Structure 1
Amino acid sequence: MGTGYLLKNGCVLSMDARIGQFNRADVLIQDSLIAAVQPNIEVSDADVVVIDASDMIVMPGLVDTHRHMWESLVKTAGTNWSLPVYLQNLYYGAMGSKLRPQDSYIANLLGSLEALNAGVTTVLDWSMPYSPDHTDGLIRGLQDAGVRAVFAHGVPGETAYWNRESTLSYPENIRGVKERYFSSSDQLVTYGLAIRGPEFSHWDTTVQDIQLAEELDAICSMHVGFGSWGSADRSISRMYEAGLLTPRINVVHGNTMGMDEFKMLADNGASLSVTPEIEMMMGHGYPATGYFLEHGGTPTLGVDVVTSTGGDMFSQMKFALQAERSRTNELLLAQGEMPGELSLQSSQVLRFATSAGAQALGLERKTGSVTPGKEADLIMIRTTDLNLFPVHDPIGAVVQFANPSNVDTVFVAGKLVKQNGKLLHVNLDDIRNKAMESKQYLLTQYRMSDTDRIVFS
């Protein structure tokens, strides 16, 4: 048996309706699992380490259902990029194609550590590797960081693949990747497919890719229904008519889909990943949070690209919450009315970022709530920090006040990966040096437009 932990006297937000919320309770971790959640747990086992959780909020680790992890190497570069400029600089023969396998490795390691530091214990990495060696590097980066992840395996970011007439699909070795790295579903890093979907490949290719996901028992994620083409394409309707919508399908963005298409998604158990900050900034469209809710779905949240925003979910919870409140408030104001109770509650958004995210990734049996029997993916947030103290509403504190600096402690599958505000078991100086080497290499291989070069001077 491994070391156990007893988190004493914390404010527990379980995100499990059967367990509820405790102003003061204990959480017992044994091996990799949550063993008990209740006040006044007593243990006599000498192998159980007691951690004082008073003045802490104890809750599930945050779940990010859509992030391009390798972009940690070009962090902050795209704060002024629209979606077309972003694609021009990073894909279709641009910077992403210049990565070496070792760059892919350090990029995913760095991005995963950024996530863990911010209390994100689970992430879907929407990857676009350029070779089998790049695939190996990306997967090893996730594994070595110790994050829980879905490695969503995509195709190279080249125009030969990414166009509406493309019939190119995955190489045969994709089955070998599944067998080599993902032979068991009972591991920290599991397998998914990041397919182009009907708006970025031929329809027959989309059907083939979805069938491949079924064969491989993999989550199938795609960018669909956003930008100026989203409303015209009616991709979700087409997938629905073809019988392709299932709980395996994860739609990213969906900003400009038809209202009936949101119901099609919800009725068939497919998930929606909203990345509110990036969508509002880059031109995807207004976040679809409320539209999906109104048609019976529960959205999930993602960071998307750290070229343009920080890799934490606190920001995305706030953006999702206030953008949707603004949308519904504007409708009332246009009618000459003032809002009464706000249309979206903090508790709903916290669910988007925890239990709903876990369900969307097929991981609800393992993570997403503080539930006995689930794996211990937990975070502890300090409530004595000046931006939080004094706390009246713990859920509101997490969703609308907290930031990564408040994350004191992080467990992933019962392993302590951050404590007293510091990541454990990593040599950050060495990782920074390797990441800087990769960044400098990329800059020698590809230069952005003149308007963007100042970012890298």
Structure 2
Amino acid sequence: MKTTKTLLRGGCVVTMDEQGHVFKCADVLITGEKITAIQPDIDADDCVVLDASHQIVMPGFIDTHRHVWESVIRGTAGNYSLMEYLQHILGPLAASFRPQDVYTANLLGALEALDAGITTLFDWSHIMNSPDHADCAIAGLKESGIRAVFGYGTPGTSVWEWFYESKLTHPTDIERLCQQHFNSSDQLVTPAMAIRGPEYSEFAVAVKDITMARRLNLPISMHAGCGTFAGKYQAVQQLATAGLLGPDLNIAHGNYLTIEDFTRLADNGCSVSITPEVEMQMGLGFPATGRAMAGGIAPSLGVDVVSGVSGDLFTQMRIALQTERALANDGLLRVGEMPQHISLTMADALTWATVNGAKALNLDRKTGSLTPGKQADLIMLNTTKMNLSPMADPIAAIVSQANAGNVDSVFVAGKAVKRNGQLLHPQLDSIRQQAYKTAGYLVEKALMTSMAQV
């Protein structure tokens, strides 16, 4: 069968490659799943030509920490602290999810991410109430067309049993899952283990969970450094002392980790996911972006939960960047000095949302930049919209001005999943309708459960 060639003609190309190439006007050639050339005036023979003039062509965003199943309970946690989130979302709501609800939620949540230009995400799925729930979560991701690392977590059946110094080890159904669903590293959806770690389970349990993940050769992600839990449980120090840190380990949040903690993580090749909006809302602390970098970490970004916050990485880039700038400026102002320059740049923020995200998920050989030979995971931003007209600096435009409404086209592994501002999935209306039904059922079921417990 003949390989399809697609030529994106005449775009402003922000590559995010190692040389930082930005082309004011260039073409991008996609051959099959891969980028094969980036330069002006590529020969268009045998190509499907798409006009990219008045578009920024850039790598797709990479969200390294997202609980995708919460798409159908959007906005329910908008006024919650972390403790209220644990009590209400991981309480009656999570326990009310049926397998078909998880399928709908993951399909909707992944499509939402694609619509906002996110081509890769880590799905930290702590809704594994049964094997059927897990199967449906994976099916929803696969149906969407997104690239995803599926982090198999714990059940949402009892927050008290699974998330408060839990004595329960990770469900062993992950072994079946790996054999049944993940037989190739070339799949768009690949497996990982989303464990609770020392802040949410006993340390002995965390050790057993990590041991199981490494026996299965799976990447590991855990929450750590969350508010007062950081000082109470000393997760990074405990893991370091036990010799359990390693390049397969991703830490989400890290708000109250010290520079020394981040240095330990960096020295052992660990990655860190910052989710700035939800961290500041729920009482985890200020985003640790600056301390992470000071400790040698290349931070990545995530949305975390659309039950509480926005679902795009434009927002997360801006919040992370401007918060860290404000903290640095405040340090000078407090000693009577007026800040003379800004150290963190727009390019830094874009790196967090693309290149660093790929590195955090060990996908940097495949995605994260527009580089010939890598997978064609890319997006196009419409610069004719009023918020991007005129455009002096494309990177500044992406980080400080653009929003999800500018995402005109999205490609994952060379396949268009959004064109001309519209997702291409053929059943969008029915998915929306089912999501409304699912949300109504869950709220009613959770309410009945809460009333029965009074």
Partner residue of 1:122 out of 120, 126, 135:
120
Residue in 1 that maps onto 2:111: 113
Higher mean alpha-carbon deviation, 190-199 vs 10-19, is at: 10-19
Task: Using the TM superposition, give the Cα deviation of residue 448 of structure 1 relative to its aligned residue in structure 2, in angstroms.
Answer: 9.1
Q: Distance between the aligned counterparts of 2:371 and 2:263, measured in 1?
A: 30
Structure 1 equivalent of residue 44 of structure 2: 43
Residues 151, 190 of structure 1: 8 Å contact kept: yes
Summarize deviations over 1:79-119 as a string: whole Å, max 9, x none: 21111111111113x10111000000000000001000000
How many angstroms apart in 1 are the aligned matches of 2:237 and 2:171? 29
Q: Which amino acid aligns with 2:61?
A: L
2:144/2:425 contact within 8 Å kept = no
Mapped contact 1:252–1:274 kept (Cα < 8 A)? yes
Q: Give the Cα separation in 2 of the matches to 1:319 and 1:197.
A: 27
**Distance in 2 (alpha carbons) for counterparts of 1:82 and 1:115:** 24
Decide whether the 8 Å contact of 1:234 with 1:258 is kept in 2: no
Work out the CA distance in 2 between the residues paired with 1:384 and 1:436: 33
Checking the alignment, whether the CA contact within 8 Å between 2:258 and 2:291 is kept in structure 1 is no
Long gaps (5+) in structure 2: none
The answer to whether the Cα contact below 8 Å between 1:231 and 1:258 also exists between their aligned partners in 2 is no
Q: CA deviation at 1:246?
A: 1.0
Distance 1:315 1:382 in 2: 17
SS, match of residue 344 in structure 1: coil
User: Which residue pairs with 1:453 in the alignment?
Assistant: none
Q: 2:353 maps to which residue?
A: 353
Whole-angstrom CA distance in 2 between matches of 1:126 and 1:172: 17
Matches within 5 A, 1:14-29: 14-18=15-19, 20-29=21-30
Alpha-carbon separation, structure 1, partners of 2:110 and 2:321? 25
Query: Partners in 1 of 2:370 and 2:448 — Cα distance?
Result: 45
Alignment identity in percent?
50
Letter of the structure 1 residue corresponding to residue 207 of structure 2: V
Per-residue deviation, 1:343: 2.5
2:228 partner SS: helix
Contact 1:19 1:371 in 2 (8 A): no
Aligned residue runs from structure 1 range 71-220, under 5 A: 71-92=70-91, 94-128=92-126, 129-157=128-156, 158=158, 159-164=160-165, 166-220=166-220
Shift of residue 19, structure 1, vs aligned partner: 6.2
Q: Secondary structure at the match of 1:66?
A: strand
Taking a change above 3 Å as real, the CA distance of residues 288 and 19 of structure 1, as seen in their structure-2 partners, is closer
Q: Which moved more, 1:140-149 or 1:83-92?
A: 83-92
Structure 2: how far apart are the matches of 1:328 and 1:426? 48
Which stretch of the first structure deviates more once superposed, 82-91 or 371-380? 82-91
2: CA distance, partners of 1:100 / 1:421: 32
Between 1:10-19 and 1:222-231, the stretch displaced more is 10-19
Q: How much has 1:229 moved relative to structure 2?
A: 2.1
The whole-number CA distance in structure 2 between the counterparts of 1:170 and 1:301 is 26
Instruction: State whether structure 2 residue 391 is matched by structure 1 residue 391.
Output: yes
Find the residue that maps to 1:446 and give its secondary structure.
Answer: helix
1:251-273 per-position Cα deviation (integer Å, ceiling 9, x unaligned): 01110112210111111110111
Deviations 1:312-343 (A, max 9, x none): 00000000000000000000101111112212
Determine the structure 1 residue equivalent to 2:375. Answer: 375
SS in 1 for 2:85: helix
After superposition, residues 361-440 of structure 1 pair within 5 angstroms as: 361-440=361-440
Amino acid at match of 1:320: A
Q: For 1:429 and 1:293, locate their aligned partners in 2 and report how far apart those are by CA, in whole Å.
A: 43
Return the offset for 1:449. 11
Could you tell me how far apart the structure 2 residues matched to 1:448 and 1:356 are?
44
The answer (yes or no) to whether the contact 2:124–2:152 under 8 Å persists in 1 is: yes
User: Who is 1:455 aligned against?
Assistant: none
Q: Tell me the C-alpha RMSD between the 2 structures.
A: 1.4
Give ranges in structure 1 of 5+ residues lacking alignment: 451-457
Alpha-carbon deviations, 1:245-294, whole Å to 9, x = none?
Answer: 11110001110112210111111110111000100111001100000111
Q: CA deviation at 1:38?
A: 1.2
Report the residue type matching 2:392 in the other structure: H
Q: What residue is the counterpart of 1:61 in the other structure?
A: 60
Q: What is the rounded CA distance, in whole Å, between the counterparts of 2:73 and 2:338 in structure 1?
A: 43
Q: Which moved more, 1:144-153 or 1:424-433?
A: 424-433
Tell me if structure 2 keeps the 8 A contact 1:62–1:122: yes
After the TM superposition, which segments of 4 or more aligned residues of structure 1 sit over 4 Å from their partners? none
Q: Secondary structure at the match of 1:160?
A: helix
Amino acid at match of 2:101: D
Return 139-148 or 171-180, whichever deviates more.
Answer: 171-180
Instruction: Say yes or no: does 1:230 pair with 2:230.
Output: yes
**How far apart, CA to CA, are the structure 2 residues paired with 1:117 and 1:4?**
23
Q: How does 1:284-299 map to 2 (within 5 A)?
A: 284-299=284-299
Asked if the contact 2:125/2:151 (under 8 Å) is kept, the reply is yes
1:283 matched residue in structure 2: 283
Partner of 2:248: 248
Measure, in 2, the Cα distance between the counterparts of 1:106 and 1:425: 14
SS in 2 for 1:227: coil
Going from structure 1 to structure 2, the CA distance change for 1:22 and 1:6 (only over 3 Å counts) comes to same
Cα distance between partner residues in 2 of 1:448 and 1:373: 54
Q: Per-residue CA shift, 1:14-67, capped at 9, x if unaligned?
A: 11124611111111000000011111111311xx21111111110000000000
- Asked if structure 1 preserves the Cα contact closer than 8 Å seen for 2:122 and 2:148, the reply is yes
Counterpart CA distance in 1 for 2:278 and 2:448 is 20
- Alignment of structure 1 residues 288-327 onto 2, 5 Å: 288-327=288-327
Residues 102-152 of structure 1 show CA distances to partners (whole Å, capped at 9, x for unaligned) of 000000000001000000000000002100000011000000000000100
Alignment match, 2:34: 33
For residue 140 of structure 1, what is the amino acid of its counterpart? Answer: A
Give the TM-score of the pair, scaled to structure 2.
0.96
Which secondary structure does the structure 2 equivalent of 1:184 belong to?
coil
Give, in angstroms, the shift of residue 216 of structure 1: 1.9
- Give the conservation status (yes or no) of the 8 Å contact 1:9–1:25: yes
